[in-house]
Amino acid sequence: MSNATLIISSRNYSSWSLRGWLLTRLSGLPFEVEVIDDAASRAELLMRSSSTRVPCLVHDGLSVWDTLAIAEYLNELRPEARMLPAERVARARCRSISGEMHSGFSALRSALPMNLRARKKNFAVWSAARADIEAVVEIWRGCLATWGGPFLFGDEVTIADAMYAPVVTRFQTYDVKLDDVCAAYGKRILELPDMVEWTEASTAEVEEVAELELDF
């Protein structure tokens, strides 16, 4: 039995739960998952900001919440997982763009909420959200060009890839058109075994959060 538990919310709607789960998987730390199974509580959490205490990693009696705190904790606990790039400049950039994802892009979050089961063809993206999308893909292009891909910092998945993975799902859900380089990166993220496992599990959820099912 694992001495670590990750508390998450909805697999279908919760981008922060997905980030926490990907980070814990990336670390290689054995863990169990505890899902908040009360629909009303889930809905309240999903409509609030990332400052809520889900996801939360409970390890050896210690609770760590907030995805960046979880990422740094796991990186210290499991350095062999190489969750951050080895090279100093790449490591600094990885932390910077992960922090930007953590605290920014509010228009994108509001206009394109995560919904893995939905497909909204020809979705009309508001101008503020469009600006956020352009900022995200500019980050991707810069990293892929500088570090050569296939992931943001080279051959290995890092904290940054986990942080941006939910954005990849949003682009798929809302039919966001991407250039070839960014589309190929998104496809690689979606095909990661951990992403496939999470997405398949999301189909088993039966409840819907009405506010996140609306067409804007």
Domain final residue, candidates 81, 106, 124? 81
- Are 7 and 36 in contact, with CB atoms under 8 Å apart? yes
Mean pLDDT computed over 127-134? 97
- Are 114 and 213 in contact, with CB atoms under 8 Å apart? no
Is 207 within the bounds of a domain?
A: no
Is 57 within the bounds of a domain?
A: yes
Say yes or no: 193 and 104 in one domain.
Answer: yes
Domain count, the chain: 2
Full residue range of the structural domain in which residue 17 is found: 4-81
Is 166 within the bounds of a domain?
A: yes
pLDDT of 215 over the 50 cut: no
Q: Quick: pLDDT tens for 37-62.
A: 655 454 544 444 444 578 999 999 99
pLDDT number for residue 204: 87
Say yes or no: 67 and 154 in one domain.
Answer: no
pLDDT number for residue 44: 47
Is 204 within the bounds of a domain?
A: no
- Are 12 and 38 in contact, with CB atoms under 8 Å apart? no
The SS3 call for residue 59 is strand
- Are 85 and 158 in contact, with CB atoms under 8 Å apart? yes
Mean pLDDT computed over 119-135? 96
The model's pTM is: 0.90
Residue 143 in tokens: 């990293």
